[in-house]
Amino acid sequence: MSPKLQEAMEGLISVFHSYSANEGDKYKLSKAELKTLLQGELACLLAASKDPMVVDKIMKDLDENQDGQVDFQEFVVLVAALTVACNEFFVDLDKNKAVS
C-alpha cells in the first residue's frame, strides 16, 4: 500500500490530466476544461459560491502568466488554497464546539 500523501499526489496529477487532455494543450487546462473539472470534482464548493462568474474569477486568479490556460503548477495553487481554507474551517468548527 502506498503512503497516503503519495496517493494524494498521484490523485492530483491524475485528476488534472484527465481534464487537461480533452482539448488543446494536454498539459494545460483551458477555461472550459477548468470549469468541467470544478463542476466534476468540486461541485459542492462551486455551488456554494452562488456567483455566476466564479469560474472566470478563479481562472483570472490562477492564470499567473496570463496565457488563458491553467498549467499544473497554477492548478496546485488552487488545490492548496482550498485545502488551507477547508482546514481553517474545521479548526474553527472544533474550537467552537469546545467553547459550547
Question: For 3-53, what is each residue's pLDDT tens digit?
Answer: 999 999 999 999 999 999 888 899 999 999 999 999 999 888 777 777 778
CA nearest 76: which of 6, 15, 21, 24?
15
In this prediction the pTM is 0.79
The model's pLDDT over 62-78, given as tens digits with 9 standing for 90+, comes to 888 888 899 999 999 98
Residue 17 confidence (pLDDT): 96
Q: How far apart are CA 85 and CA 98, in angstroms?
A: 20
Domains of the chain with bracketed CATH: 4-99 (1.10.238.10)
Residues facing 28 on adjacent strands: 71
Q: How many CB atoms lie within 10 A of CB 83?
A: 11
